[in-house]
Amino acid sequence: MKIAQSLILTFILLSNFSLKAQDYFEEASLKEAIQLSESGAHKEAYNMYKRLLSSGGEISAEFPYYFAKNLYDLKKYNNSLNFLQQYLTYHDSEIRHKTEAIQLERKIGQAMSVIQSCPLCDKSGFLLVPCDYCEGNKTIDLTCQYCQGKGIELCKKCDGEGVVISRNAFNENNYTTCDRCKGQGFHGCSHCEGKKIMSKNCPECLGSGDKKSATLCTHQTESHDH
Ligand SMILES: [Zn+2]
Ligand SMILES: [Zn+2]
Ligand SMILES: [Zn+2]
Ligand SMILES: [Zn+2]
């Protein structure tokens, strides 16, 4: 069956879920899964939908709608949208929940735009916590390789001599104190500006300063009122 095949493919492409044998039900049916979902048992319903999908049997054209609805309740918006969009490719005469599906698509869009504009979570809605590698600093400090952490480099203008030799009008050597290093022969490292360290983007968080946690974000940026 065409619908079943394309659904299974979508499922495989999207699935980063772990299949747990103990979550399987003896007899999975779409009706039961819908009932579970409507009773608020979204996780259990989800497992039943998964079982239905991987059973290889004939799948109702209504399946992607119900699965998408349950995925929406689980806040898995991207996956939900994928199944919904698939459902909406079916012909009007094949499906019964077109209006509801369009409404749900709009709700997902709204939920996703809240996530996009929320500074507290990543794009899949999980709360961001400070990166533990850089402790939220976004950068890490490394010893300057150029000066090996000394903070100084040999003066290029005078080759470390401290004096600059030039010829005067009488073709005589003129010795003047090097203005670049003020006669010292060295000056602050031009790479680290004498700081001995170089800051570079944290390799763990790539400079974002945070990482995704396992907690779903509530997208409430206001502080609590007491
Ligand atoms: Zn970091
Ligand atoms: Zn110099
Ligand atoms: Zn340096
Ligand atoms: Zn958020």
Average pLDDT value for residue range 19-29: 46
Same domain, yes or no, for 70 and 174?
no
Same domain, yes or no, for 94 and 33?
yes
Same domain, yes or no, for 71 and 153?
no
Write out pLDDT tens, residues 148-187. Answer: 999 999 999 999 999 999 888 888 889 999 999 999 999 9
Same domain, yes or no, for 104 and 164?
no
C-alpha distances (whole Å) from 199 to each of 60, 134, 196, 202 are 57, 11, 10, 9
Local confidence band at 219 (pLDDT 50, 70, 90 cut-offs) = confident
Same domain, yes or no, for 171 and 69?
no
* Structural domain includes residue 24: yes
CA of 190 from ligand 2 middle (Å) equals 13
CA of 33 from ligand 4 middle (Å) equals 29
* Structural domain includes residue 96: yes
59 has a pLDDT exceeding 90 = no
Domain count along the chain? 2
pTM, two decimal places: 0.58
Average pLDDT value for residue range 131-153: 95
* Structural domain includes residue 221: no
Ligand nearest 128 Cα, by number?
4
* Structural domain includes residue 217: no
Determine the distance from the C-alpha atom of residue 101 to the mean position of all C-alpha atoms in its chain, rounded to a whole number: 28
Local confidence band at 55 (pLDDT 50, 70, 90 cut-offs) = confident
Local confidence band at 60 (pLDDT 50, 70, 90 cut-offs) = confident
- Domain with 146, as residue range(s), is 139-201
* Structural domain includes residue 55: yes
> Which protein residues have a CB closer than 5 Å to ligand 2 (ion)?
155, 157-158, 178, 180-181
Q: What is the pLDDT of residue 25?
A: 42
9 has a pLDDT exceeding 90 = no
Residue 192 belongs to a domain with what CATH number?
2.10.230
2 has a pLDDT exceeding 60 = no
Q: What is the pLDDT of residue 46?
A: 96
Instruction: Of 22-31, 52-61, 150-159, give the lowest mean pLDDT range.
Output: 22-31
* Structural domain includes residue 8: yes
C-alpha distances (whole Å) from 147 to each of 106, 162, 186, 197 are 58, 19, 11, 9
Listed in sequence order, the residues at least 6 apart from 4 whose beta carbon sits closer than 8 Å to its beta carbon are 56, 57, 58, 59
Ligand nearest 181 Cα, by number?
2
26 has a pLDDT exceeding 50 = no
User: What is the percent of the chain where pLDDT is above 90?
Assistant: 69
Same domain, yes or no, for 178 and 97?
no
> Which protein residues have a CB closer than 5 Å to ligand 4 (ion)?
118, 120-121, 217, 219
